[in-house]
Amino acid sequence: MSYRKYDPQVKEMIVASKNPNLFPHLNIPRTTALYWIDQDQKKSSTTGLSSEGQELRNRLNEYEVFKLKAINLLLKDLLKSNNPYADFKSSADPNVKSKVVDLVESMNGFISKTSIIHDLGLSPSTYYRWRSERLGCDFEKIRCHSGRPAQLTIDEQKIIVSLARDPKLKQLSTKSLMYYAQRNGIIDCSLDSWYKYMKIYKIDRKVNTGGKRKQYREGVRANKVNDIWHIDITQFYTKDRKKLYVQFIVDNYSRAIINWKVSDRKNTQITLKSLLDSDLDTLRPEYLVSDGGGENCNKEVKKVLTGKGITQLIAKADVYFSNSMVEAVFRQLKQKYIEGTIKSKRDLELKISEFVRKYNCANPHSSLGGGTPSEVHNGAWDSNEFKNLVRHRREKRIALRSRDYQKCKVCVGKC
């Protein structure tokens, strides 16, 4: 039946039910049905319905509510029968996603998609992303470049997933990984996008320390390079249970490791060697923060520091702050870089040397705006210039997506 020669009762029932999909077999355009409903609402605001018309509307509304509930229950039962333990909202199983999309699309014309999606506990954005993955543009297996110009494409999402799962980059935090991708021109999206798609694709990059994470109080912050240095020592065990000690000197402002030593003894000599090999005459730090250990607090160390015009501060004694700056570097070393057993002192020295090289020169630091500690320490990093570069590349990429999206005519309003 053509909608131009419709039965007057058809229009009356659609208007009364306010459901533009009430008679899908008549092929009445949705815009036409919505126009009828809108005109009736405007008319009703000035002239009320007759008692018979109001009664018919109430009956149809009750019928529509009952029908929607029945179909929704049927749809959920069908899905649950195939996947009794499925959590549709957080499911990563492609089969579950495909079944949900196929069933929802099969009900098109009989029930509102919004109602089905809501009852399944899905957000519209999640469902339509699944639908794009399953059906592509206009059901022709051609995927859109992007639903919106500012949204990442499927290929860009794959880049994030690939980097986040790369075992060679597992030592980087998510924020440092974002800077790594930006510095190498791989992808220029924001940190929120990284967290978003890592959550969508079930990627967990947290380091499991085997217990409750310790809370560290924020320490002192310097205003320039070589203003405050930190020195501290930690210990490791070889496979034959021999104890080895590693000492770091770290610059507060740049986070750079100034010097390091590995020793089989924890005494004054390791501290003296670390300080004397740190080019104190040229760099001239104003303060050295340490703990109250005997290797740091003694006459020999005090004599060296006083002779160079350096003031020693004992963490949590002379100052309120802890020695958290260097402790954070130790956590990275132990949790992300030292794997397996340590064979010998030489083996530990090789591992520490590789760690210092990557930490200082290769890996962008999350607190330095994408710069490495060596770049900041040497004055070779301009964070504002880097921000402007990333912003320019991001705007350029959005413009390209917008152009490609305009070319994809079949996508508009469908994907």
The C-alpha atoms of residue 385 and residue 346 are separated, in whole angstroms, by 41
Do 115 and 194 have their domain in common? no
Q: How far apart are CA 203 and CA 8, in angstroms?
A: 57
Axis-axis angle for helices 124-135, 94-106 (nearest 10) = 100
- The residues pairing with 261 across neighbouring beta strands, listed in sequence order, are 247
Instruction: Supply the CATH number for residue 235's domain.
Output: 3.30.420.10
The domain total for the chain is 3
- Do 100 and 54 fall into the same domain? yes
Same domain, 66 and 48: yes
Domain end call among 109, 135, 161: 135
Query: What is the C-alpha separation between 36 and 321, in angstroms, rounded?
Result: 72
Same-domain pairing of 25 and 107: yes
Check whether residue 308 and residue 253 sit in a common domain.
yes
Residue 219 lies in a domain: no
H or E element in which residue 350 lies: helix 345-357
* CB-count exposure of residue 14 (10 Å: 0-12, 13-18, 19+): buried
Phi, psi (degrees; rounded to nearest 5) at 28: -75, 125
Statement to judge: residues 16 and 129 lie in one domain: yes
Q: Is 42 in the same domain as 148?
A: no
Structure tokens at 111: 């029930």
Residue 109 shares a structural domain with residue 68? yes
Residue of 101, 114, 107 whose CA lies nearest to 24: 107
Query: Same domain for 106 and 176?
Result: no
In terms of DSSP bridges, do strands 287-290 and 228-237 run parallel, antiparallel, or are they unpaired? parallel
Residues 200 and 246 in one domain: no
- Examine residue 92 and state whether it is found in any structural domain, yes or no: yes
Measure the CA–CA gap between 259 and 411, rounded to whole angstroms.
58
Picking from 328, 273, 320, 323, the residue whose alpha carbon sits closest to that of residue 293 is: 323
Q: Which pair of tokens denotes residue 36?
A: 């009828």
Is the domain of 87 the same as that of 72? yes
Q: Contact 101/139 with Cβ under 8 angstroms? A: no
| C-alpha count within 13 angstroms, C-beta hemisphere, residue 280 | 19
Structure tokens at 72: 């929704």
Instruction: Mark whether 157 and 116 lie in a shared domain.
Output: no
Q: Which alpha helices (DSSP H) does 18-153 contain, by range? A: 30-46, 51-82, 94-106, 113-119, 124-135
* Distance in angstroms (rounded) separating the CA atoms of residues 225 and 375: 11
Task: Kindly give the confidence (pLDDT) of every residue in the chain, 415 residues in length, as a single tens digit, with 9 standing for 90 and above.
Answer: 444 556 676 777 787 777 777 777 677 888 888 888 887 776 665 455 566 666 766 666 666 666 666 666 666 666 666 555 455 555 666 677 777 787 777 766 666 677 677 767 778 878 877 887 777 654 433 344 445 677 888 889 899 999 999 999 988 999 999 999 999 999 999 999 999 899 888 888 877 655 555 555 556 788 999 999 999 999 999 999 999 999 999 999 999 999 999 999 999 999 999 999 999 989 989 999 999 888 999 999 999 999 999 999 998 877 777 788 899 999 999 988 888 889 999 999 999 999 999 999 999 998 999 999 999 999 999 999 999 999 999 999 888 877 665 555 444 444 4
Q: Domain containing 247: what range?
A: 228-345
